[in-house]
Structure 1
Amino acid sequence: MNARHIDHVNLRIPEDGADEAREFYGEQLGFGIEDALYAADEKPFFDVRLSATAVIHLWPTEEFEAPAKTNYDHVAVVVEESAAEIEAELADAGVEVEKSLDSPLGATGEAGAVYVRDPFGYRVELKSRV
């Protein structure tokens, strides 16, 4: 097999968490929200569009369990901005930075990264492009 990239990641969120998710991922982080089919009750999840080739499926469910160190660590998203630019955008959006690292190793090499938590406890790594 010759993998090229991750197509999607599935994350469960609280049954009543769709509006918070739209605000965090769409408004604060600036990613696209694709929820027309979810709103029409045609599928049980909606998407956070990270790029033309990658999404996060968010599944509102009553079975949601907050992430813990034993069942989840983080999802890493490569972005075009530098770590300093990411931090500035997050500050403007009112998003608290959990930590920043100068050059953690990722799939494409070492680059600056900024870590935040979404409203449901998931850690999101916003990693500069190498």
Structure 2
Amino acid sequence: MRQGASGKVVAIDHVQLAMPEGGEAEARRFYAGLLGIPEVTKPPNLAARGGCWFEQAGLKIHLGVEKEFSPARKAHPAFVVDDLFVLVARLAAAGFDATEDEPLAGFVRRYMSDPFGNRIELLQPSD
């Protein structure tokens, strides 16, 4: 054990979402194309499983293939965005509708689903 280590959780490394087999092109269009999170190459030993990874500084979203796929409709990642309404308009133009939910102090937010039905929250700190 490292000196001074306490065994507590200190950060999230990545969030894993499931997707159906063969959905990589849709994942790329949505996560890289519309959300702007660059795709990174999966390690060769994991690439054979399918899926794809999207990462940038401080944000890692991994999509893995699940044979008996069922979307996450309640559990979800929440992405902080720099201009919620620009992103919502871009997503709407591509056929992805965002909906309002209960207010959250300090944020303007919307919910939507990725191409596979997984719930996604979009947050922008309010002024």
Q: How does 1:91-130 map to 2 (within 5 A)?
A: 91-97=92-98, 99-101=99-101, 103-105=103-105, 110-129=106-125
**Structure 1: any 5+ residue segments left out of the alignment?**
none
Instruction: Specify the alignment match of 2:61 in structure 1.
Output: 56
Percent of paired sites with the same residue:
33
Q: How does 1:31-70 map to 2 (within 5 A)?
A: 31-34=37-40, 36-37=41-42, 41-43=44-46, 44=49, 45-49=51-55, 51-68=56-73
Partner SS state of residue 88, structure 2: helix
Distance change (3 Å), C-alpha of 1:123 and 1:23: same
Distance, in Å, in 2 between the alignment partners of 1:75 and 1:59 is: 15
Structure 1 runs, 4 residues or longer, greater than 6 Å off: none
Question: What amino acid maps onto 1:121 in structure 2?
Answer: G
Question: What amino acid maps onto 1:87 in structure 2?
Answer: V
Question: What amino acid maps onto 1:115 in structure 2?
Answer: Y
Distance change (3 Å), C-alpha of 1:121 and 1:94: closer
**TM-score, length-normalised on structure 2?**
0.73
Aligned equivalent of 1:15, options 15, 18, 21: 21
Distance, in Å, in 2 between the alignment partners of 1:92 and 1:64 is: 27
Structure number with higher strand proportion: 1
Partner SS state of residue 12, structure 1: strand
Instruction: Give 1:103 shift.
Output: 4.2
**TM-score, length-normalised on structure 1?**
0.72
Instruction: Give 1:53 shift.
Output: 2.1
Instruction: Specify the alignment match of 2:80 in structure 1.
Output: 78
Distance, in Å, in 1 between the alignment partners of 2:117 and 2:58 is: 25
Distance, in Å, in 1 between the alignment partners of 2:92 and 2:69 is: 29
In the TM superposition, what whole-angstrom CA distance separates every residue of 1:45-70 from its partner, at most 9, and x where no partner exists? 42122x312211111131322335xx
Question: What amino acid maps onto 2:77 in structure 1?
Answer: V
Distance, in Å, in 2 between the alignment partners of 1:8 and 1:128 is: 20
Aligned-CA RMSD value: 2.4
Distance, in Å, in 2 between the alignment partners of 1:29 and 1:93 is: 11
Aligned residues between the structures: 116
